[in-house]
């Protein structure tokens, strides 16, 4: 009987954790099938286990930790609306095993709060980007688009790794310095756009890119009520839809910046109207595309915007 208890008890505990987290178990999955290390495992003891709610935070954590960390990013598919993500068994197991968890907060990834509450751990460090970011826009959770926010978040991740693994503090500090230096070309690109195109009127389908358009000095004509509604998954007020459509039909905006992860019939109609009038559209995403780093992702979008502005502004 004692032998049976030893065999079944770990499975029962993990499945109870899944139930508390509101997760469903995929067919053919068992707790033992997870490729992640469990507490006490030699591999986990050698590295810091980090779970990031979103893949851009995971990428940054990996750059900062190098081979001293093992990183799992939960939300990584740019084709999925992050607001509609549903967690699974693997997510819950990863969070329960993590030394550090990085989440966005500000109502953006509430599913992570459920995973954390399902596996209480006083030794686990939880970093909430929305609480760390020094530059917050009202009702706008997309803090990772603010470069100064990312600088502060990177510092907090580094401080947390040093707390867990003080022996490697010098390595973490060097990695942080390298990362912060790699953000300088992005800041310079933003400054260049502001120098050349300050005040140029543009349109946004939602609030995602406001953290950078403000730094660039671009004049966002789209009514904020329209942007906010699309961001929250709601129908914009009728008058804001009419104003936004008129701005396109009258070619008042020079470029349309389109969040391809927040697509609705309203935004699709807007995009099609812009294409018909040869108004350039720039596609931006909430999560990092595959085969990118945070830096290349941000820079590629800025280069696309700069190229479009050069075409339409003489």
Residue ranges covered by each domain of the chain: 12-182, 184-312
- Average pLDDT value over all residues in the chain: 87
12-182 in CATH: which number?
3.40.50.1980
Tell me the average pLDDT across 141-153.
98
CATH architecture entry for 184-312: 3-Layer(aba) Sandwich (3.40)
Q: Indicate if 184-312 has the same CATH topology as 12-182.
A: yes
pLDDT digits (tens, 9 = 90+) for 239-274: 999 999 999 999 999 999 999 999 999 999 999 999
pLDDT digits (tens, 9 = 90+) for 168-194: 999 999 999 999 999 999 999 999 999
Q: Which two tokens stand for residue 268?
A: 């699709």
**What pLDDT does 5 receive?**
40
**What pLDDT does 28 receive?**
31
**What pLDDT does 76 receive?**
83
Predicted model pTM: 0.85
**What pLDDT does 204 receive?**
98
22 — pLDDT class (breaks 50, 70, 90): very low
Look at residues 226, 203, 222, 184 and name the one whose alpha carbon lies nearest to residue 312: 203
More confident residue, 87 or 22: 87
pLDDT digits (tens, 9 = 90+) for 76-127: 876 776 767 788 899 999 999 999 999 999 999 999 999 999 999 999 999 9
pLDDT at 224 over 50: yes
Among 9-13, 101-105, 114-118, 225-229, whose mean pLDDT is lowest?
Answer: 9-13
Contact 132, 159 (CB under 8 A): no
């Amino acid at each position: 009987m004692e032998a049976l208890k030893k065999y079944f008890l770990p499975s029962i505990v993990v499945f109870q954790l899944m139930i508390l987290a509101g997760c469903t178990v995929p067919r053919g999955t068992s707790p033992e099938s997870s490729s992640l290390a469990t507490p006490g495992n030699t591999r986990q003891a050698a590295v810091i286990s980090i779970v990031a709610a979103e893949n851009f935070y995971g990428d940054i954590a990996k750059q900062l930790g190098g081979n001293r960390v093992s990183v799992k990013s939960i939300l990584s598919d740019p084709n999925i609306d992050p607001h509609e993500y549903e967690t699974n068994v693997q997510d819950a197991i990863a969070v329960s095993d993590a030394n550090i968890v990085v989440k966005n907060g500000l109502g953006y990834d509430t599913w992570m709060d459920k995973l954390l509450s399902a596996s209480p751990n006083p030794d686990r460090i939880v970093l909430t980007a929305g609480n760390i970011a020094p530059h917050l826009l009202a009702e706008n959770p997309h803090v990772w688009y603010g470069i100064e926010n990312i600088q502060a978040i990177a510092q907090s991740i580094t401080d947390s790794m040093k707390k867990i693994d003080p022996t490697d503090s010098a390595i973490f500090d060097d990695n942080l310095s390298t990362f912060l230096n790699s953000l300088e070309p992005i800041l310079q690109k933003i400054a260049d756009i502001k120098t050349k195109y300050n005040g140029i009127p543009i349109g946004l389908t939602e609030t995602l890119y406001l953290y950078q358009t403000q730094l660039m000095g671009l004049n966002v004509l789209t009514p904020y009520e329209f942007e906010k509604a699309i961001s929250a998954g709601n129908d914009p007020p009728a008058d804001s839809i009419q104003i936004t459509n008129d701005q396109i039909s009258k070619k008042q905006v020079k470029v349309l910046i389109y969040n391809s992860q927040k697509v609705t019939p309203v935004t699709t109609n807007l995009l099609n109207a812009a294409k018909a009038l040869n108004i350039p559209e720039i596609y931006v995403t909430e999560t990092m595309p595959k085969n990118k780093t945070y830096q290349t992702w941000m820079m590629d979008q800025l280069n696309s915007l700069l190229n479009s502005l050069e075409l339409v502004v003489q």
